[in-house]
């Protein structure tokens, strides 16, 4: 086992009286990693608690937590002084600017190494597709029994972050997945992916199909205001499969942001780059070739656009997409 020495190193820093707080931004990879760390350390420490800093809005994330019956707490409801160590999963200290005054002790991550920080223990591997892969190696090294629920969570974490092994994936991810998959519940894995669309959201589907206009194989549609952007993602994923559409932008207002979901089937229309080039100056925008996203705080939307007028927003998006841009090198990834 390649990381066997890392497991020894980790064992060297934890104490039987440790009460560990795992802090995550709740997405499938971080949720699975946190529960893997919990399983790994549970018998060696006093307690392991998993807390998120903001509630998960994505349908699949909520479905994962519910179907796998995982217990997550809001970090706002925990008393930090109760814990002896804080662990970061699928993130480094830069992801939590609001908690700068805390001391972080453990970090497991696959994002690029951002800044020096005196962690007691860190395992940061940017070449790995998912943090779930990294934690799976510790479970194997420690010979810990992996429950069906944990295996399912880790498989889902790896599947999500590697986009079903289509990007940012390596041998370690494939190996971890092939070890975990036989232990996982295939039906559960599928039902997280195909999590139910709330019935009332069908109204948005209806609206999208009625408003849909396609010009030069490009579909642009605004859905108005919603609790979360999930339904825009679902509709964009649907539209991009329709013949005659090779680029789709679905807009939705959620909270105090206008969120644009980009989908592309044309390799010459890079969704993430288009999102960044046209909307990166007024919001956070980025993504990869097939999928991109822009999140624009409402006050940043130009004043001539009427935020509550569907036509006004759609026309503005089309106008912006038609505007020539000079390509900028730096891309931000709002994930
Ligand atoms: Mn990840």
Give CA separation, 122 vs 119, 128, 131, 322, in Å: 6, 15, 12, 46
What does the block give as tokens for 289? 């070739």
What does the block give as tokens for 35? 């529960």
pLDDT tens per residue across span 150-175:
999 999 999 999 988 887 888 999 99
Final residue before a domain boundary, out of 193, 227, 243: 193
Residue 76 lies in a domain: yes
- Report the helix count and the strand count for the chain, using DSSP H and E: 11, 12
Distance (Å, whole) CA 183 – CA 191 = 16
Residue 329 lies in a domain: no
Sign of the torsion formed by the C-alpha atoms of 65, 70, 71 and 75: negative
Sign of the torsion formed by the C-alpha atoms of 197, 231, 163 and 137: negative
Distance (Å, whole) CA 315 – CA 220 = 9
Q: Ligand 1: distance of its center to the CA of 35 in Å?
A: 14
167 and 261 part of one domain: no
Residue 328 lies in a domain: no
pLDDT tens per residue across span 79-110:
999 999 999 999 999 888 889 899 999 999 99
Final residue before a domain boundary, out of 175, 193, 211: 193
Q: Ligand 1: distance of its center to the CA of 302 in Å?
A: 34
Instruction: Specify the pLDDT at position 112.
Output: 86
- The CATH number given to whatever domain includes residue 259 is 3.10.310.30
Q: Into how many domains does the chain fold?
A: 2
Give the bridge partners for 88, in sequence order.
23, 107
Confidence of residue 328 (pLDDT cuts 50, 70, 90): low
pLDDT tens per residue across span 200-215:
889 999 999 999 989 9
pLDDT tens per residue across span 7-49:
999 999 999 999 999 999 888 999 999 999 999 999 999 999 9
Q: Ligand 1: distance of its center to the CA of 305 in Å?
A: 36
167 and 147 part of one domain: yes
What is the three-class DSSP state of 255? Answer: coil
Q: Ligand 1: distance of its center to the CA of 160 in Å?
A: 8
253 and 113 part of one domain: no
Residue 335 lies in a domain: no
Distance (Å, whole) CA 248 – CA 54 = 29
Sign of the torsion formed by the C-alpha atoms of 300, 302, 303 and 307: negative
Domain span at residue 313 reads 201-322
Q: Ligand 1: distance of its center to the CA of 30 in Å?
A: 6
Q: Ligand 1: distance of its center to the CA of 131 in Å?
A: 5
* pLDDT score of 332 more than 70: no
Final residue before a domain boundary, out of 155, 174, 193: 193
Distance (Å, whole) CA 252 – CA 223 = 5
Q: Ligand 1: distance of its center to the CA of 236 in Å?
A: 23
Residue 121 lies in a domain: yes
Q: Is the separation of the CB atoms in 140 and 1 below 8 Å?
A: yes
Q: What is the pTM of this model?
A: 0.73
41 and 81 part of one domain: yes
Mean pLDDT across the chain, nearest whole number?
A: 91
What is the three-class DSSP state of 18? Answer: coil
Distance (Å, whole) CA 155 – CA 146 = 12
Q: Ligand 1: distance of its center to the CA of 161 in Å?
A: 6
102 and 179 part of one domain: yes
* pLDDT score of 66 more than 80: yes
């Amino acid at each position: 086992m390649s990381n066997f020495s890392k497991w020894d190193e980790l064992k060297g820093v934890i104490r039987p009286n440790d009460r560990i707080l795992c802090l995550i931004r709740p997405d499938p990879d971080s949720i699975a990693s946190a529960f893997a760390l919990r399983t790994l350390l549970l018998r060696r420490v006093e307690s392991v608690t998993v807390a998120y800093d903001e509630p998960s809005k994505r349908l699949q994330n909520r479905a994962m937590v519910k179907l796998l019956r995982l217990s997550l707490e809001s970090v706002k409801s925990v008393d930090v002084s109760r814990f002896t160590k804080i662990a970061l999963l699928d993130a480094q200290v830069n992801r939590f600017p609001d908690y700068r005054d805390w001391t972080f002790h453990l970090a497991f991550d696959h994002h690029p190494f951002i800044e020096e920080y005196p962690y007691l223990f860190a395992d940061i591997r940017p070449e790995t597709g998912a943090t779930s892969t990294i934690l799976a190696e510790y479970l194997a090294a420690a010979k810990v029994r992996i429950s069906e629920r944990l295996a399912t969570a880790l498989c889902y974490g790896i599947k999500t972050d590697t986009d079903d092994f289509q990007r940012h994936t390596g041998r370690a991810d494939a190996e971890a997945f092939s070890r975990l998959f036989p232990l996982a519940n295939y039906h559960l894995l599928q039902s997280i992916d195909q999590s139910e669309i709330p019935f009332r959201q069908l109204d948005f589907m209806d609206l999208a199909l009625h408003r849909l206009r396609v010009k030069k194989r490009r579909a642009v549609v605004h859905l108005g205001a919603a609790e979360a952007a999930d339904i825009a993602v679902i509709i964009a994923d649907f539209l991009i499969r329709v013949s005659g559409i090779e680029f789709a932008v679905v807009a939705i207002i959620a909270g105090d942001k206008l969120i644009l979901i980009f989908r592309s089937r044309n390799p010459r229309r890079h969704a993430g780059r288009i999102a960044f080039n046209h909307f990166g100056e007024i919001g956070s925008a980025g993504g990869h070739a097939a999928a991109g996203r822009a999140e624009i705080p409402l006050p940043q939307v130009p004043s001539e656009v009427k935020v509550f007028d569907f036509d006004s927003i759609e026309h503005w998006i089309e106008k912006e997409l038609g505007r020539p841009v000079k390509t900028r090198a730096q891309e931000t990834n709002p994930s």
